[in-house]
Amino acid sequence: MTRKNTATGRKSGPGSKKLLALSTTALALPGIAAADAPPPFSTLSYKFTNYQEDDISRREAPFGERERYDIDVHQLRLITPTGRNTSLQIDGNQESMSGASPWFNIAGADGDPIVNLSGASGIRDSRRELSIAGSYYFDNATLSASTGYSVEDDYRSRYYGLSGQTNLHQDLTTIAAGISYADDEIFPTDAELFNRVTKESKFSTSAFVSISQIINQTSTLQAALSITEQTGFLSDPYKLRDVRPEQRTQLALSSSYRHFFVSEDAALHINYRYYHDDFGISSHTLDSSWYQNLGNSLQLIPHLRYYSQSAADFYSNVDNFVLPVTENQSSDYRLSAYGAVSGGINLVAPFGDWLISLNTERYIANEKYSAYDVTQPGAGLVRYFRVSLGIDYTF
């Protein structure tokens, strides 16, 4: 004889108030409550990523360099509990990039833009980043503070963040909010030789709020809003002519839904994001992933994403050198109207205290994929392949 014994499955009787009082305090115990306790173990992770852009076509760049960015990233992360209520996270990144990015675009004989990639010998740069974050776990809330520093040959960034989250309705609802501030400085190389700016700065202030709701045992819903305000030098100093406004307000609304299918032993994640800024760019991103468990030792995650954006008000696919430098203009393909499709497969395999993950992604951007009207097709839209291999060790 099998009997299901759940106290909550029953109709509330006169004693349920007493039971509720006992259950409420018991469920607040950190070993029972799922959230708001430092991680029980330390985790050390290493991840290597190679990001490689396809060569630009001879049609788009009839002369000079065709090879675009090739970036190698090494990431090291340590998350460790440091006390009864505290944890620490340290991240170190090292990126080395080589290749070239568009320098200026001119009109070809048929009116199509011709892209000129910068530097005969291309660009060689490396970026090093260190960030540290501490969290304090309260009864039913977590507060985190972080700071980081990133440096390149021609760029330096310092950032600070503060965020908090709290759980409501017996941990069914989580509300989070945070603010961050970044102070960046750019000092282009070969500034005098190419008549570039010598030193400029940029400040970004960002705030977000999010709410996550557990709907039932198998599904959750999340919504978030973030606003970023940037001021200062927002142009690309390496382009021959690139003049952008000195202020930018960005707004993003995102939502995600997760559903676990018990019989398939798999979960579906669907995310949608809407973005708008006062450069005139609006975008939609829709992505979905399927997390398929294969036994206890393997997880296979195919994923697919679609992205489309409208062009910035001042985008022009051919640089207009006649226009006074006070007028905004940019031929940066990232400001053009285009669409992009990407997809790939991730693999996660745990072995005891170890976890190995492999991620692959193919990305293709094209003005033909755009959901918005394309008046000036962007030149030099990228296609890339990204692969990363990660190892986590828990101790």
Partner 1 sequence: MDAALRSFPFQAMGSFCEIRFLEPSRIEARANARKMLAEVNRLEQKYSRYNPASFLSEINAMAGNNLGTKLDTETRTIFNHALSCYEQSDGLFDITAGVLRRIWDFSSGKVPSQTEVDRLLSHIGFHKLQFSKSRLILPAGMEIDFGGIVKEYAADSVARLGRSLGIECGLVNLGGDFAVIGPLPVNRPWPIGIIHPEGDRNLMARLMLEQGGLASSGDYERCFVHQGKRYSHILNPKTGWPCDGLRAVSVSADTCTVAGSIATIAMLKPEQQGIALLEELGVDHTYMTCDEQISGRGFITDSSAEKIADQIPS
Residue 245 binds to partner 1 (criterion: CB under 8 A): no
Nearest to 131 by CA among 150, 154, 152: 150
Q: Is 216 in the site for partner 1 (CB under 8 A)?
A: no
Residue 27 touching partner 1 (CB under 8 A): yes
Please list every residue from 127 through 156 that binds partner 1, using CB under 8 A.
137-139
Q: Which residue, 86 or 201, has its beta carbon nearer to partner 1?
A: 86
3 forms part of the interface with partner 1 (CB under 8 A): yes
Q: How far is the CB of 33 from partner 1 (least distance, A)?
A: 8
For partner 1, which is the closer residue by CB, 270 or 294?
294
- Give one DSSP letter per residue of 51-90, joined into a string: EEEPPPPTTT--SS-----EEEEEEEEEEEE-SSSEEEEE
Select the span of 3-11, 164-172, 235-243, 359-367 touching partner 1 (CB under 8 A).
3-11
- Smallest CA-to-CA distance from 91 within 76, 102, 105, 110 is with 76
End-to-end CA distance of the chain: 42
**Least distance (Å) from partner 1 to the CB of residue 165?**
15
DSSP type of residue 12: P
Give Cα separations from 112 to 18, 56, 308, 314 (angstroms). 77, 15, 22, 18
d(CA 288, CA 342): 11
Q: Does 18 bind partner 1 (CB under 8 A)?
A: yes
CB of 173 to partner 1, least distance (A): 19
> Least distance (Å) from partner 1 to the CB of residue 347?
17
Query: Among 393, 395, 351, which Cα is nearest to 77's?
Result: 393
- How many residues does this entry show for the chain? 395
How is residue 105 written in tokens? 């675009």
Q: Is 263 a residue that touches partner 1 (CB under 8 A)?
A: no
- Helix (H) or strand (E) holding 16, with range, is helix 16-27
Q: Is 394 helix (H, G, I), strand (E, B) or coil?
A: strand
Judged by CB under 8 A, the residue of 28, 145, 175, 364 near partner 1 is 28
Q: Does 84 bind partner 1 (CB under 8 A)?
A: yes
Considering only 155, 285, 350, 393, the residue that binds partner 1 (CB under 8 A) is: 350
Q: Establish if 324 lies at the interface with partner 1 (CB under 8 A).
A: no
| Nearest to partner 1 of 32, 209 (CB atom) | 32
Give the span between the Cα atoms of 85 and 80, in whole angstroms.
12
Kindly tell me which residue out of 121, 217, 296, 326 binds partner 1, with binding defined by CB under 8 A.
296
Taking Cα atoms as reference points, which of 199, 202, 139, 198 lies closest to residue 171? 139
Torsion of CA 302, 259, 350, 346, to 10 degrees: 10
- Please state the closest distance from residue 75 (CB atom) to partner 1, in A: 24
The one-letter amino acid code at 112 reads D
| Residue 298 touches partner 1, criterion: CB under 8 A | no
- Judged by CB under 8 A, does residue 199 bind partner 1? no
Does 217 help bind partner 1 (rule: CB under 8 A)? Answer: no
Query: Is 4 one of the binding residues for partner 1 (CB under 8 A)?
Result: yes
d(CA 336, CA 113): 13
Q: Which stretch binds partner 1 (CB under 8 A): 22-30, 53-61, 337-345, 371-379?
A: 22-30
169 binds partner 1 per the rule CB under 8 A: no
Residue 320 found at the interface with partner 1 (CB under 8 A): no
CA–CA dist 201, 371 (Å, integer): 34
Q: Does 10 bind partner 1 (CB under 8 A)?
A: yes
The answer to whether residue 41 forms part of the interface with partner 1 (CB under 8 A) is yes
Q: 3-state class of 334 per DSSP?
A: helix
Q: Which residues bind partner 1 (CB under 8 A)?
A: 1-8, 10, 13-16, 18-19, 21-32, 34, 37, 40-41, 84-85, 137-139, 295-296, 350, 352-353
